[in-house]
Amino acid sequence: MNNGLIGVYLVIILVIVMALLRNRRQMMRKIILRKKHSNREGFRMTEAIKRFLGKECVVYTFENNAVKGVIEAEEDGWLRIQTKKGTQLVNPDFVSRIREA
DSSP annotation string for 23-64:
HHHHHHHHHHHHHHH-HHHHHHHHHHHHHHTTSEEEEEETTS
Which are the contacts of 79, defined by CB distance < 8 A and separation ≥ 6?
A: 49, 59, 71, 73, 89, 90, 91, 92, 95
Per-residue pLDDT, 13: 93
**pLDDT tens column, 19-54:** 887 777 777 777 777 766 665 555 566 777 888 999
CATH 3.30.499.10 is held by the domain 3-100: no
Question: pLDDT band at 92, cuts 50/70/90?
Answer: confident
